[in-house]
Amino acid sequence: MLYDFDDHNLFITPKIAYFPTATGGASRHMMVNGSSHRIAVKIKCSDNELFRVSPVYTLLEPGNAQRLQIVRDPGPAKVDKIVLIYKTTCSSSARDAFDCDLGAERKVIALIAKEDLTMSIAPTTNLKSILRQSVQKS
């Protein structure tokens, strides 16, 4: 099954990102709007000194997907998080949709930095391969 009950409105994959402390690195994630309404998304991070995210705000139309890029600079081993705040909206601007926090929900991506981590292959964020993997697991 591609969507858990909790993932119906906003599906995020992968939900964990690993980074080597010595070099830092980048991680790509996919956000998919599984609802029948436009969703505004705002991305926040627990450590803005080490991490950069793109986009910070985005609008997702029903059934559409958007790639999320997370970049970490070299730094100490620790656990951080990205919080995706999202809500349904009729606004044409994602930033304007968050003028009031009513009705906002949250998802978290864990950011884990380890000293002994070696990166071999970046996780895939190709929507077709994600769908193929979920069908094979079912």
User: What architecture does CATH give domain 5-114?
Assistant: Sandwich (2.60)
Give domain limits for the chain: 5-114
**Preceding amide of 74 cis, omega within 30:** no
* pLDDT, tens digit (0-9, with 9 covering 90-100), for 23-81: 999 999 999 999 999 999 999 999 999 999 999 999 999 999 999 999 999 999 999 99
Kindly indicate the confidence band of residue 115, based on its pLDDT and cuts at 50, 70 and 90.
Answer: confident
Q: pTM above 0.85?
A: no
What is the CB neighbour count within 10 angstroms for residue 58? 20
* pLDDT, tens digit (0-9, with 9 covering 90-100), for 65-98: 999 999 999 999 999 999 999 999 998 999 999 9
Pick the closest to residue 23 from 73, 61, 62 (CA basis). 73
Cα separation, 85 vs 133, whole angstroms: 26
> For residue 50, what are the contacts with CB-CB under 8 A and spacing of at least 6?
24, 72, 73, 75, 80
